[in-house]
Every structure is written in C-alpha cells, then in structure tokens.
Amino acid sequence: MQILDGKALGKEIQEEVKLEVEKLSKKPHLAVILAGENPASKIYVNTKNKTCERLGIKSTVINLPENVTEFELKSKIRELNVDDEINAILVQLPLPAHINESECIKEISPIKDVDGFTPENLGALVSGKTPFAYPCTPSGIITLLKRNNIQISGKHAVVIGRSNIVGKPLSLMLLKENATVTMCHSKTKNLSEITKTADILISATGKRIVTKDMVKNSAVVVDVGIIRNSEGKLEGDVDFEQVKDTASYITPVPGGVGPMTIASLMKNTLELFLKQNK
C-alpha cells in the first residue's frame, strides 16, 4: 500500500506556482468574499490568505456581515468583476441561509471564477470543453492521481457523493480522463456491491461509511470527507486503518485531498491571471 501524500505534493505545486509568480512583474490578485461568522469558513479563508502571501499572490478578504442582503453581495461581486486589479474571485461557501448561493455564484465573471462553479464553467465541463478554471477539489484529486502515475483511462471510477462542488464535477473530470464512472449517493441501493467493483474509489460524503468489505483488492482509495470525531480529531469517510491493507494507494485525512485543494486554488489564481494578461 502506498500513501497518496497530498501534503507533500501540495507543497511541490505551491513551489511551482511561487516560481512562476516570481517571474511576473505584476502579481495575480485573489479576492475572497466571506459573509457571516461561520468559524470553519474563517479558518479556511485565513489559510487561503496566508498561502497567497507565501507565494507572492496578492489577496484581499472582503468581510460582509451575517445579515448582508443578496443584492449587496451581488453588487460586491459585480464591483470585483470590473476591477482590473482583481484576477480571481472566490465566494466562500456556505453563505448565510437567507442568501441564494447559486444566484450569487452566477454573478461571478467566468474568467475570474477561480472555483469553476459558474454555469459557464460547469457547462464547459459538461460539454467536454475547457473551462477557465476547474473546481479546486476535483482538480486537486485528478492531479494527485496523475502525479502518482495512477492510470485513470479505462478504469472503473466510483464516486460516492453528488454535490455541485465535489461529486458532480469530479465525475465529469474522471470521464474526461476516459474512466468509466459510476456516481453513487444517499439513495443508491447496494452501495457496497458497486464500490467493490471500483478500481478507483472516491468518497465525498462527510459520513464515515467506507469499510474494508466495500473495497476491492488493490483499489485506489481517495477520501474527500472531513469529519470531526467524538475525540475532536479530524477523520475522513474511510476507515483508514481497516482499508489501508486492501488498497494499493490511499489518501490520509488530514494530509490527502485538503492540501491538494489549496494548491489547486493557487494554481487556478495564477492561470486566470495569465489568461487575462495574454
């Protein structure tokens, strides 16, 4: 069994981005909108901000109050869309409950959409075209597989979870890489019968559901889930201790998909900058 070390690879990718940024006379600039007081969101935004600083990428965090209106949030996005100093826009999710997330995401200019969540960029993915940016977590997972020389083409990839930010775009990206893809979700019957046929098994549910009996011998197992257990420790969807001896490759939690997501965000910011300054 080999560990898919997202922490090490994430660092490597960050170094590559840093070297590219050093060569630029003008620096890429990421704007992050943080609405409300969600503690986890604050931590994520802080990490993104610090990583930008370390790589020489400018970053601006726009803090909006919990009671911000949808109109005000959309106006802020529109302002950033036409600001020549801003190359990438990220709206930290989840937004406060009274705000329609997809309506706000729709407002982001596709060429500044660093998460690849706008209808234009997701539509490009669906139709097999190249979006301005690929969603960061799926993109990080594909990079993690490719840089570890794991073949995707022709393999049966089973994705558990069908969210707009992970499961759905990831399935489309695996399809683009010529995997045969099966998507599973909470209404899937006989989940373990399906997962046992996976060459590549990716779980993105936030529920601790993947046990040894669900994994084929020598399968590649990617764990996207982030769960805080009763002892306050972070763990994933997969019972790592059980599954590690069955899998050929497995991601740890933490230190697997998480750092790859941040690395993809940095890479996307640089790439959007380069596309805008061709």
Is position 278 annotated as part of the catalytic site? no
Tell me how far, at minimum, the Cβ of 136 lies from ligand NAP, in Å: 8
Q: Which of 92, 112, 199, 223 is catalytic?
A: 92
Three-state secondary structure string covering 13-68: HHHHHHHHHHCCCCCCEEEEEEECCCHHHHHHHHHHHHHHHHHCCEEEEEEECCCC
Q: How deeply is 102 buried, as exposed, middle or buried, from its count of CB atoms within 10 A (0-12, 13-18, 19+)?
A: exposed
Closer CB to ligand NAP, 118 or 137, in the complex: 137
């993109």: which residue's tokens? 139
Tell me how far, at minimum, the Cβ of 19 lies from ligand NAP, in Å: 24
Count CB atoms within 10 A of the CB of residue 106.
Answer: 14
Closer CB to ligand NAP, 56 or 206, in the complex: 206
Binding site for ligand NAP (CB under 6 A): 137, 160-163, 165-167, 184-188, 191, 204-207, 209, 224-226, 257-258, 261
Closer CB to ligand NAP, 174 or 204, in the complex: 204
Tell me how far, at minimum, the Cβ of 140 lies from ligand NAP, in Å: 7
Q: Which of 5, 76, 113, 115 is catalytic?
A: 115
């779980």: which residue's tokens? 203
Give the H or E element holding residue 173.
helix 167-176
Is position 115 annotated as part of the catalytic site? yes
Closer CB to ligand NAP, 109 or 182, in the complex: 182
Tell me how far, at minimum, the Cβ of 72 lies from ligand NAP, in Å: 25
DSSP string, 85-141: T--EEEEPSSPPTTS-HHHHHTTS-GGGBTT--SHHHHHHHHTT---SS--HHHHHH
Tell me how far, at minimum, the Cβ of 176 lies from ligand NAP, in Å: 19
Is position 244 annotated as part of the catalytic site? no
Q: Which of 129, 190, 142 is nearest to 170 (CA)?
A: 142
Cα dihedral 184→187→190→191 (10° resolution): 30
Please name the residues in contact with 151: beta carbons below 8 A apart, sequence gap of 6 or more. none
Closer CB to ligand NAP, 9 or 166, in the complex: 166
Query: Catalytic residues, which ones?
Result: 48, 92, 115
